[in-house]
Structures are given as C-alpha cells and as structure tokens.
C-alpha cells in the first residue's frame, strides 16, 4: 500500500489536479513495463489533467476521479467550499499563496466559513485538509480516502488487466466536467459498452464496515437493471464478499456516463467509508481487498 500512502500525501482539489496527474503519470511510466499488458497512454495538455490508459482491445472502462474536496479563500478571511467538505471548526487545513505556505484552522459553519491565518491570504487560494494517515489491523483512516482508494484500485488493476480502459478523471467532487470529453475520446478511439466507477461510498444503516465492497443498485441515478443483474451474477459467482447499496441521493462519475450521448452501461463499485468528506474518513482494509478482487474478477469476466 505504499502507493496509497503516496497518493494520500498529495493535495489536488477540484480544478487544481495538475500535481496529482503528474504523480500518476510518473508512476505509470515507472511501472508499465512490469504490467501484463503494456498500455497506450493518453495524457498531457490535450487531456487537461486527466489520464487514459488503453489496454488491449477494450469494451469496458474503469473510471477513478483524482480530485478531492477542499476550500477556497474568498475575500477577507472568508472560505467557500469546493465540493462538499464537512465544516468542523478547528479542522487543520493547508494551502499556499504568493507569500508562501499556509497552515491554519477552519472556523464557522456552513452558513459562513473562515480561516484563522493571521495574515491576509490571496483571493482564490485553494485549501486542503491537513493529512493524517492512521492504519491499524482493521482500518485505514485519513483525509481523502475518497477517492485515493479508488485511484489506488485503478492502479492495481493496471497490473493484470488485458483489455480495457483505466481512466483518471477530474472535477468529480465539484459537479464534474471532464467525463464528457473523456467519454467522447474513448468512443472515438476504442469504444466501450460498459463502465465501472471506482469510487468510495458511505456507511449507512444498510452498508457496514467489513462486509465487503459495495455494489450500488442506485444512488440519485439508477443504472440499467439488466446490466446490474449481470454484475451481481458475476459477483456471486466470484465468492468475493460484497454488499448492496440503495440510496436516494449521492452521485459519481456514473452521472455523466448516464447522460452521455453513448449507450454505455455503468455501475458504481467501491468500498464504503465513515466520516465522509472529513479529515477522518475511515475504510475497512478488508473492504479495500474485496474491492480490488472484485474489479479483478469483473474486468476478466464481464
């Protein structure tokens, strides 16, 4: 899990993913020759801060978003959210502006958020939760497990995938915006009919730690049932632990697949976390294992 630790050390709030993209690009370059299939890599300015890896002859893609939630400084000492961060007074946040590095605390509540840095901060400065990774026998706890674990899973799949796209998207936490051009590029390059969204979901009254990776029957949107049934049949066949989710709200990169001008089936599959969008996101290690195993099985068999 060294790579997961490295990913957790990066900041990269929605709109500012360049450094995270560079890290993933470097990692891919270093590792790609050890993978079962050598991918064709699409990245760079033409793809903004996204990265696409094409393995073999794809009919499926895995999407993992590389951005995180955070804050942005407004005027005076005001902050406004990027994505939907939990606003917990006293939370330590970090940023950098023209005068140097910044470490301070969040104050206020969702009606009005402030930072307590003693000097003025440049308007438009991004802030991230200060990272604090804690691992014990059962759990990993840190900021930004959503979606560093989804990215970690996607990178693990690179080792064994034979046919498929592994795609790193941006902006997911703040309404999206990269998926439409990624999907167009995919459909014009090596089209797919199926997609899996490698992302993190929520512990709820029906989804619990240690009970396996979550296959989402729906969040705010509803994947096509006939596709979902095929996923569920394979999941049962695999004997990998999994649990089902049915939620009324929430969304993912699946949203932009649903509304894309292509008939692509999609399904959200990912481990569940507690303390969502806080610096203390918490995920079961065995659920991460199930996630990686199930993607492995589905990419070979779906």
Q: Give the residue, chosen from 134, 225, 236, 237, that forms a contact with its own copies under the rule CB under 8 A.
A: 225
User: Contacts with its own copies in 264-293 (CB under 8 A)?
Assistant: 265
Stretch that binds its own copies, among 35-43, 86-94, 127-135, 223-231 (CB under 8 A): 223-231
Closer CB to its own copies, residue 58 or residue 81? 81
Q: Is 30 in the site for its own copies (CB under 8 A)?
A: no
Closer CB to its own copies, residue 92 or residue 208? 208
Stretch that binds its own copies, among 99-107, 153-161, 167-175, 233-241 (CB under 8 A): 167-175
Q: Give the residue, chosen from 58, 81, 150, 270, that forms a contact with its own copies under the rule CB under 8 A.
A: 81
Task: Quote the distance between the C-alpha of residue 37 and its chain's center.
Answer: 24
Q: How far apart are CA 87 and CA 108, in angstroms?
A: 8
Shortest Å, Cβ 162 to its own copies: 23
User: Contacts with its own copies in 105-164 (CB under 8 A)?
Assistant: 123-124, 126
**CA torsion, points 242, 268, 280, 118, in degrees to nearest 10?**
180
How many residues lie near its own copies (CB under 8 A)?
53
Q: Give the residue, chosen from 141, 260, 284, 296, that forms a contact with its own copies under the rule CB under 8 A.
A: 260
Integer CA distances (angstroms), 114 to 80, 104, 107, 143, in order = 8, 10, 5, 20
Shortest Å, Cβ 161 to its own copies: 23
Binding mask 169-208 for its own copies (x = CB under 8 A): --x--xxxxx-xx-xx-------------------xxx--
* Closest-CA residue to 15 (of 72, 63, 53, 64): 72
Q: Is 15 in the site for its own copies (CB under 8 A)?
A: yes
Q: Is 72 in the site for its own copies (CB under 8 A)?
A: yes
Token pair recorded at residue 173: 């936490």
Shortest Å, Cβ 45 to its own copies: 8
Positions touching its own copies (CB under 8 A) are 14-16, 18, 46-49, 72-76, 80-82, 123-124, 126, 171, 174-178, 180-181, 183-184, 204-206, 217-218, 220-226, 244, 246-248, 256, 258-263, 265
């Amino acid at each position: 899990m060294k790579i997961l630790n490295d990913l957790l050390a990066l900041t990269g709030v929605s709109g500012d993913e360049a450094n995270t993209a560079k890290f993933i690009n470097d990692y891919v370059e270093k590792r790609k020759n050890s993978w079962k299939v050598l991918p064709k890599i699409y990245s760079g300015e033409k793809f903004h801060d996204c990265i696409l890896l094409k393995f073999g002859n794809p009919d499926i893609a895995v999407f993992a978003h590389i951005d995180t939630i955070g804050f942005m400084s407004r005027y005076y000492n005001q902050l406004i959210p990027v994505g939907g961060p939990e606003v917990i007074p006293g939370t330590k946040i970090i940023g950098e502006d023209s005068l140097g590095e910044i470490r301070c605390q969040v104050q206020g509540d969702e009606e009005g958020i402030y930072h307590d840095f003693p000097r003025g901060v440049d308007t438009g400065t991004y802030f991230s939760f200060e990272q604090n990774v804690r691992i014990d026998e059962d759990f990993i706890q840190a900021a930004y497990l959503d979606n560093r674990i989804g990215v970690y899973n996607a990178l693990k799949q690179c080792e064994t995938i034979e046919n498929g796209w592994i795609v790193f998207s941006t902006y997911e936490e703040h309404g999206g915006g990269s998926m439409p051009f990624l999907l167009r590029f995919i459909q014009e390059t090596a089209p797919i009919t199926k997609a899996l969204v490698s992302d993190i979901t929520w512990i709820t009254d029906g989804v619990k730690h240690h009970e396996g990776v979550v296959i989402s029957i729906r969040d705010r949107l509803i994947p096509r049932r006939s596709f979902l049934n095929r996923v569920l049949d394979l999941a049962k066949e695999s004997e990998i632990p999994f649990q089902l989710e049915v939620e009324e709200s929430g969304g993912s990169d699946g949203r932009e697949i649903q509304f894309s001008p292509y008939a692509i089936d999609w399904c959200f599959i990912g481990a569940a976390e507690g303390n969502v969008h806080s610096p203390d996101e918490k995920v079961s290690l065995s659920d991460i294992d199930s996630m990686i195993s199930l993607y492995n099985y589905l990419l070979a068999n779906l």
